[in-house]
Amino acid sequence: MHTSRPNDSSRPATEAPACVMIVDDDESLLTLLSMRLEASGINAVTARTSVEALGLLTAVRPQLAIVDLRLAPPGVEAGEEHDGLALFRKMRRIEPRLPVIILTAHGSIPDAVAATREGAAGFLTKPFDGRALVEEVRHLLAFSANVPPVAGPSWRQSIITRNRRMLALVDEIGRVGPLDATVLVTGPSGSGKELVARAVHAASARAQGPFVAINCAALPEALLESELFGHVRGAFTGAAADQPGLFRAGEGGTVFLDEIGDMPLPLQAKLLRVLQERRVRPVGGQREIDVDVRVIAATHRDLRSILAHGAFREDLFYRLNVVRLALPGLPDRREDIPLLAAAFVRSIGARYDRGNASFTPEALEALVHAPWPGHVRQLLNVVEQCVVLSDSPLIGRDAVDRALASSAHATPASMRMPSLADARAQFERDYLAQILKLSAGNVAEAARMAHRNRTEFYRLLQRHGLRGDLFRN
């Protein structure tokens, strides 16, 4: 799905104009909107009833539709033929990826909101600014699955969306990418933070350089330091040769630190120094080495919250949080689910030689309304299960329900829960920070309250990068 803004100048001269269908019982409004769209280089077809609209939908195959919720002219009793919401639902079953703008009067706003929850691109309340509607149409056409891609940066095409928050995020990536500033990406586990990080990298002057990623929660502290900063031969048991580490491997490119909120405190101090000085010291090494990398960090955790508990350094937080990109979870962008599912089906179908696989309208509806605690990662898992296990190229509602049930047992808990070792370490850090607060930074008093001798207590504080003076009033 292409996410670039429309740009007529970038289109080949032979490319046919986009086509928009307008469905409204008000002939004067149909004429006005048609004229505005035509003046903007967009073809318009019109319908006054559901029957006419459904006929045009299959005959013309428009790239976007504008539908009034009430299609009954004055003096005509409203029925299904004049029910815009019912029409919208039928259109979604026929063309699930078709963007639809809902027109509504004040009295039918709840129905318009319901339509947006079911996948409508948005709604406008009458009376509205015709120019604003045309701008919205031009904006949405750029992301319609049926419109040929508009020329633009390739990184935009990796982000499949027509959700307003996501489109704003795409624009922000375009602005931030070339600036070489440190970026912090936030969002739930499985929402696509690495995809955003790769897009920032691709939008930067470092795009031809390496993109090096590491999950800070996946390795113990000793191994993580070596992976990040490298080590010299003999630095520890098993260090048979010099290793440069990921920061030096990322020279001229980007280093992506995923789950930065789980990085141990002692390493946070060392990372802060790297960000400040742009130099790394390998484990066991005697000299520092210059590095030229951009750092992008990501986390699903609330860093301000863990900062308040003493488990994250305040100075590192501000060093990382120069630019923050907040990624919404999948339940907050349900209109993207049919687009994402279609893209996943194509890529997974090609991998398993099932390139003709597709979802029925009922199956897509089930996907749209599923809870998705595992976000985009869970959706990918469900689609893969459907493609692999379905007996037919046409994937039905039953296959989706089975895959959702299977995913629900395996995905949410595992995605939210840390390892036992990480949980213990986090509890220990939080406990030590709290007890230092209670003792106003008096280490001897804190050791007594914890029923530990002072030497042992000091070692615990050093392990977690905590100092008593940080907690004194």
Residue the block writes with tokens 């209670």 = 438
Token pair listed for 394: 């046409």
Choose between 174 and 353: higher pLDDT: 174
Q: Which of 17-21, 170-174, 225-229, 447-451 has the highest mean pLDDT?
A: 170-174
What integer pLDDT is reported at residue 77 of this predicted model? 52
Token pair listed for 317: 């937080």
Q: Is 172 exposed, middle or buried (0-12, 13-18, 19+ CB in 10 A)?
A: middle
What integer pLDDT is reported at residue 443 of this predicted model? 85
Q: What is the DSSP string of 431-454?
A: HHHHHHHHTTT-HHHHHHHTT--H
Going from the C-alpha of 181 to that of each of 64, 251, 256, 296, the distances in angstroms are 38, 16, 13, 9
- Identify the band that residue 5 occupies on the pLDDT scale cut at 50, 70 and 90: very low
What integer pLDDT is reported at residue 152 of this predicted model? 47
Cα 3 to its chain centre, rounded Å, is 14
Contact of 375 with 332, CB cutoff 8 Å: no
Helical ranges in 142-230 per DSSP H: 164-176, 193-202, 221-229
Domains, the chain, ordered by start = 8-141 (3.40.50.2300), 158-326 (3.40.50.300), 332-416 (1.10.8.60), 420-471 (no CATH)
Contact of 295 with 287, CB cutoff 8 Å: no
What integer pLDDT is reported at residue 69 of this predicted model? 82
The widest CA-to-CA distance across the chain, in whole angstroms, is 90
What integer pLDDT is reported at residue 11 of this predicted model? 39
Which of these, 343, 376, 336, 381, lies nearest to 359 by C-alpha position? 343
Amino acid at 415: M
What integer pLDDT is reported at residue 429 of this predicted model? 73
Question: What's the N-to-C CA distance of the chain in angstroms?
Answer: 55
Does pLDDT of 311 surpass 70?
Answer: yes
d(CA 438, CA 441): 8
Q: What is the pTM of this model?
A: 0.58
Q: Is 78 exposed, middle or buried (0-12, 13-18, 19+ CB in 10 A)?
A: exposed
- Identify the band that residue 324 occupies on the pLDDT scale cut at 50, 70 and 90: very high
CA angle 170, 172, 174 (to 5 degrees): 75
Percentage of residues in the chain having pLDDT higher than 90: 27
Residue 244 DSSP code: -
Residues 402-457: tens digit of each pLDDT: 999 988 765 444 444 454 555 566 677 777 877 887 788 888 888 888 888 888 78
Helical ranges in 321-439 per DSSP H: 337-351, 361-369, 375-389, 397-416, 420-438
Q: Is 273 helix (H, G, I), strand (E, B) or coil?
A: helix
Helix count and strand count (H, E) for the chain? 19, 14
What integer pLDDT is reported at residue 2 of this predicted model? 31
Residues 201-259: tens digit of each pLDDT: 999 999 999 998 888 888 777 788 888 888 888 877 777 788 888 898 889 999 999 99
Least trusted range by pLDDT, from 15-29, 116-130, 216-230, 300-314: 116-130
Residues 39-50: tens digit of each pLDDT: 777 888 888 888
Going from the C-alpha of 71 to that of each of 48, 67, 127, the distances in angstroms are 7, 9, 16
Helical ranges in 177-259 per DSSP H: 193-202, 221-229, 246-249
User: Phi/psi of residue 445, each to 5°?
Assistant: -65, -40
Q: What is the number of other CB atoms lying within 10 angstroms of the CB of residue 174? A: 19
d(CA 14, CA 23): 28
Contact of 191 with 336, CB cutoff 8 Å: no
- Identify the band that residue 380 occupies on the pLDDT scale cut at 50, 70 and 90: very high
Instruction: List all residues 6 or more positions away from 37 whose beta carbon is below 8 Å from its beta carbon.
Output: 20, 22, 43, 44, 134, 137
Residue 316 DSSP code: H
Phi-psi region of 123 (alpha: psi -120 to 50; beta: other; left: phi over 0): beta
Q: Is the dihedral of CA 342, 345, 350, 355 positive or negative?
A: negative
Token pair listed for 64: 């976007």
Residues 128-162: tens digit of each pLDDT: 777 777 777 877 776 554 333 333 467 787 888 88
Which of these, 68, 84, 42, lies nearest to 128 by C-alpha position? 68
Choose between 189 and 145: higher pLDDT: 189
Phi-psi region of 119 (alpha: psi -120 to 50; beta: other; left: phi over 0): left
Cα 465 to its chain centre, rounded Å, is 32
Choose between 337 and 427: higher pLDDT: 337
